[in-house]
Amino acid sequence: MATQARTIFIGGEWSAARSGASLDVRSPIDGEVFGAISRGEKSEIDHAVQAARAALAGPWSTMAGFERGRIMSRLSALILEQVEELAQLEARDTGKPITQARTDIRATARYFEFYAGAADKILGDVLPFLDGFQVTVQREPRGVCGLIIPWNYPASMFGRTIGPALATGNTVVLKPAEDASMSCTRLTALAHEAGVPVGVINLVTGLGEEAGAALSQHPDVDFLSFTGSPEVGTLIQTAAAKNHVPCVLELGGKSPQIVFDDADFDNAAKTIVGVITQNAGQTCSAGSRVLVQRSAYERFVALLAQKMSDVRVGAPQADLQCGPVINRTQQTKVQGFIERARAGGVEVIAQGSLDGSAVETGYFVTPTLFGPVPTDHELAQDEVFGPVLAVIPFEDEAEAVAIANGTAYGLVAGLWTENGARQMRVAKKLRVGQVFINNYGAGGGIELPFGGVKRSGHGREKGLEALKEYTVAKTIVLKHG
């Protein structure tokens, strides 16, 4: 039974859930309970939205952009001062290797640094119109923003959503995932310490079907951002539609890595394996399909198999390439994909190995390379969200594009070729939100607009493009004669 926790932050105060209920926090490293979070519900969401609404009418609404930027810069500095503490918390909560956890915390700081610099540079327009008129378009904050973030990158998602929301003058209610809330509670405390006014950031921990549902359905929320599964995204968007609330949805992907016979094979193989094993494959943009030109299939797949065989899986402090998945349910799901593929006759080309630090009670999955995988197989169509890589051969550009676009998703694509003309031809034909050519991920891409098409969702996060999502354009027409 969970002990009572005080992880709800509303109006500048920490509290337990009004019901007194808490949720155990289990580490994916060993399955052991190491903490608890408050089980917030509808009443806590109501209170948090009220606090956020009140803060909009306070000093935050009249604060100059550069002043908001200074507060965010202080928060960025505080995060950098406590990288190790935050990284250890993130690694314990999510199971990711400690080096990756440190990278994620630095990325969180970078989000606030980036958007601090943008806070006083949100520009409007002057439009040419009829003689005797002056027309301006200015961008205003949406208001109260409900942010529902996932468990795979909790700290980074804290910065990715709250950063642009604060830069544009909004207030927020954050609902982190119940499987990984610990870094978000610490970051919320640091934001308060940095000088974010009372009520501007509110945090409600709890279950998605309780606190998350209440936030998405709340009639006094002006904007919603959600990252998670397409199924839950549909529920979020349906709830938002009933209140005519706009939303940004990032709902995962089945991203292709397209390797032509003139690619730098070593660079491509190293990167592709690194991407699918990062965070145990629990990344929305993970390149989980490798499309390889038939003329290079044997050579490239042999190298890919070698790289996959070298992967070792273990606990965060072992600092290997891959850690556990987030929970027992996710472990069972990923292993189910592997077992069904094996049973169906799809060949296992290579597997990584478990390190001695990967204890039996932890939620570890052995990274696995399958191929050739039929294009209609679930490994080629469905998001596994684990360290599972499917190899698919193709003949030429046309077939590569058809296979790459042949899923319900459209988030990211990797393109590996030295042919400059081909790079642009293929990139333009791919139905995705981002294309990386001879690289993948680009250091976190905080400056790069991110989002998908089709079942991967809509709207854009990251970069200056996110500022448009968190603002609304107002047109003002003045007749001066």
The enclosing domain of 409 has a CATH number of 3.40.309.10
Last residue of a domain, one of 251, 272, 301: 251
247 & 270 share domain: no
* CA angle in degrees (0–180, nearest 5) for 157-238-231: 60
Task: Looking at the structure, tell me whether residues 273 and 192 fall in a common domain.
Answer: no
Specify the higher pLDDT residue, 444 or 253: 253
User: What sections of 317-396 are H helices per DSSP?
Assistant: 328-343, 378-381
The mean pLDDT value for 445-466 works out to: 96
With a cut of 80, say whether residue 3 has pLDDT above it. no
How much is the pLDDT for 228? 96
Do 184 and 222 fall within a single domain?
A: yes
Residue 467 lies in a domain: no
Same domain, 223 and 264: no
Residue 246 CA to its chain's centroid (Å): 19
Task: Check 113, 250, 383, 461 and give the catalytic one.
Answer: 250
Residues 232 and 275 in one domain: no
Q: Are 210 and 280 part of one and the same domain?
A: no
Q: Would residue 164 count as lying in a domain? A: yes
Distance CA 73, CA 423 (A): 38
pLDDT exceeding 70 applies to what percent of the chain? 99
Judge whether 250 counts as a catalytic residue: yes
Residue 340 lies in a domain: yes
Of 251, 274, 295, the position where a domain reaches its end is 251
239 shares its domain with 90: yes
Residue 145 structure tokens: 């923003």
Which band of pLDDT confidence, cut at 50, 70 and 90, is reported for residue 442? low
Assign 61 a pLDDT band (cuts: 50, 70, 90): confident
**3-state SS, residue 298:** helix
Domain count, the chain: 2
Does any domain span residue 86?
yes
User: Based on the domain organization, do 227 and 358 belong to the same domain?
Assistant: no
Q: What pLDDT score was predicted for residue 388?
A: 98
Model confidence band, residue 1 (pLDDT cutoffs 50, 70, 90): very low
Please check whether residue 323 lies inside any domain of the structure: yes
Could you tell me if residue 420 is inside a domain? yes
Q: Is residue 458 part of a domain?
A: no
Whether 92 and 42 map to the same domain: the answer is yes
Q: Are 281 and 241 found together in one domain? A: no
Region 315-339 average pLDDT: 98
Question: What's the helix, strand, coil split of the chain in %, to 5?
Answer: 40, 20, 35
Report DSSP letters for 25-60, one per residue: EE-TTT--EEEEEE---HHHHHHHHHHHHHHHTSHH
Per-residue pLDDT, averaged over 434-452, amounts to 90
Residue keyed to tokens 């209610």: 173
- Average pLDDT, stretch 147-159? 98
Q: Are residues 51 and 142 in the same domain?
A: yes
| pLDDT, position 443 | 58
Whether 416 has a pLDDT exceeding 90, the answer reads yes
Q: Which of 251, 269, 293 is the last residue of a domain?
A: 251
Q: Quick one: what percent of the chain has pLDDT higher than 90?
A: 98
The confidence score (pLDDT) of residue 2 equals 47
Residue 441 pLDDT: 84
Whether residue 374 sits in one domain with residue 316 = yes
> 207, 39 in Cβ contact below 8 A?
yes
Residue 444 has pLDDT above 80, yes or no: no
Question: Half-sphere exposure (CA, 13 Å, Cβ side) for 285?
Answer: 22
Beta carbons of 366 and 328 less than 8 angstroms apart: no
Looking up residue 19, the CATH number of its domain turns out to be 3.40.605.10
Domain residues for 14? 8-251
Average pLDDT, the chain: 97
Range 64-77 average pLDDT:
98
The answer to whether residue 450 sits within a structural domain is no
Average pLDDT over residues 343-352: 98
